[in-house]
Chains A and B, each alone.
Chain A
Amino acid sequence: MTPARDIRAEAARLRARFEEAGAVPLETPVLQPAEVLLDLYGEDIRGRAYVTQDPARGEMMLRPDFTVPVVQMHMSHGAEPARYTYAGEVFRKQEDHPERASEYLQVGYEVFDGSDAAAADAEVFALFAQVLAPLGLRAATGDMGILTSAVQGLRTTERRKAALMRHVWRPRRFRALLDRYSGRTPVSAHRAALIAGKVPAVEAPHVGLRGPEEIAARIDWIREDAAAGPLSEEEVALLDAVLAVRETCPFALDHLRDIAVDLPAIAPAVERLSARIDALAARGVAVETLDFEAAYGRTSMEYYDGFVFGFYAEARPDLPPVATGGRYDALTRQLGQGAEIPAVGGVIRPGVIFDLGGLA
């Protein structure tokens, strides 16, 4: 047996496990229209996905993940509740890590069921924990919904909140925006002039598609923003406190409840976390020792916006995570042009299981 055959056999076993758990097997095309993925992930995905040209269909990508095609298939002809599984190759360029695989198998389990979000989250996590139990992995969990509700609860302009929400997945720009809104960033001479009503004189004529009214509108926003006054140090500190939460589940929950006293906007999200922890415990997950990090999942390119999780081999930091997943209601909203389907799922990499000696 070659490793490739062993890995494929492992993938088939995993998919069979997921079918036993009630999932319907799905096949999705390897070639995906690039436009959909570019609109979702932005230009960055070109650095990670293989793009190719089709004379009739335009730019196509070799499937960088299954989530998008699975969501699309479910939205076009699925009925709720639904559980799906799949096993197949995904393709990722590894420009900075040529030693990592650029083509590997993923086996997934996705749940489209809006009746009880906590139960669905727990179902996926508990299933993965059970399947991966022989490997003795460390599990990490988080919840993007706590950070996003903290942002939504800031006492500031809607425009600032929208800008922060847009960069929740880009921690550096998010921090730069917070620094700007809280007055920590010195105002540039250019911006100061705009705020003071002095638009720089330009001899050049107008060129390009972005019209004079768009330029004028943005100058108005800059002035509005200056007039709105800074975000309070207290609120920035609360946001930092949320991001710093990193404890086992019960302590993290206590800690977040304390923060919610001063930041009541996160209370509903904290109660959802509480319900999830209960649901996990009911499924036999040892929540007393399960790690929770409020900032977990912020740098992945996925569209996770609620529960997030990953399974890691602690003794092998050279390996990518064995499994990752989370809730991606926002992705279904984007792909469904407004129609939202609560969805949670995850993928396992059988190749990494093989590197760790297999499940048997």
Chain B
Amino acid sequence: MSVKLGVPSKGRLMDKTFQWFGDRGVTLARTGSEREYAGAVEGIDGVELVLLSAGEIPRELAAGRIHLGVTGTDMVREKLSQWDQKVAPLEELGFGQADLIIAVPACWTDVDSLEDLDAAAAAFRETHGFRLRIATKYHRLVRDFLRRAGVADYQLVDSQGATEGTVKNLTAEAVADITSTGETLRANHLKILSDGLVLKSQATLFKSRAAPMVNGERETWDALREKLDLE
């Protein structure tokens, strides 16, 4: 049997992950055609590469179908309840940095903090007859954050992409999204609330707490751990 390592199946996250492992003598590569999600591992025996969407990696780790996985902290916290009982973070990989933040239109000169957002939401509901809409794909994280902050009279509307555009398109009044440089936010005339940082995220190597290691997998894992210089 082999130790299964889940890695994002495309884009910068995949390239950077391959590079991180490559720098440590473990060569990961996609095999077959461009469209086929198969992979190969060189430099260590007994490790199997599983290419997955970054959003599916938390679920696969929690279910114990992969032993190790690379994904963002944001994904793990959003997708898994009691995440720390299901997966263990082993190493932050130093890329894929992104902050989950709450942003409002820059023209809202009266709003700078969550307290302002709460007050604006109350007045908005009074005026418009519905709860102030915050577009996001991070429903759990944002809801928990706003509940702890005591913000009321808002609703989360689902947005799986181009979230920053929802305000201009009048489908939301505010957004909760990942940003790294803030460029897209500025381009869409949005500003981050001064206390609106929900989570700092980066690509992280996680280990499943549910996947048993049997038949030599533990030895493979020990060898891999040494190669990657993990504690």
- Write the residues of chain A forming the contact surface with B, with a CB cutoff of 8 angstroms: 38-39, 42-44, 46-47, 95-96, 98, 163, 166-167, 170, 172-174, 176, 180, 188, 190-191, 194, 199-200, 202-210, 212, 214-215, 217-219, 221-222
Contact = CB atoms under 8 A, between A and B. Distances in A.
A188 B188 CA distance: 26
Contacts of A207: 105, 107, 167-168, 188-190
A190 B152 contact: no
B81 A96 contact: yes
Contacts of A217: 123
B138 interface: no
Given A173-B118, A214-B127, 5 more contacts: A166-B122, A174-B150, A205-B107, A210-B108, A219-B110
Nearest to A167: B150
A205 B189 contact: yes
Given A172-B150, A215-B109, A210 B140 contact: no
B16 interface: no
Interface in B131-175: 131-132, 139-140, 143-144, 146-156, 167-168, 170, 173
Contacts of A95: 81-82, 140
Interface in B170-206: 170, 173, 188-191, 194
B225 to A, nearest CB: 30
B110 A194 contact: yes
Contacts, number: 113
Nearest to B191: A204
A215 to B, nearest CB: 5
B29 interface: no
Interface residues of chain B: helix, strand, loop or mixed (majority): mixed
A208 B131 contact: no
A188 B107 CA distance: 19
Given A38-B155, A96-B81, A204-B189, A191 B119 contact: no
A247 to B, nearest CB: 29
B120 interface: yes
Given A207-B168, A214-B124, A219-B109, A163 B119 contact: yes
B143 A167 contact: no
Contacts of B110: 194, 215, 218-219, 222
A98 B189 contact: no
Contacts of B19: none
A207 B189 CA distance: 7
A96 B82 contact: yes
A190 B122 CA distance: 20
Contact of A200 (B109, B120, B154, B188): B109
A208 B168 contact: yes
B128 interface: yes
B56 interface: no
A191 B112 CA distance: 8
B106 interface: yes
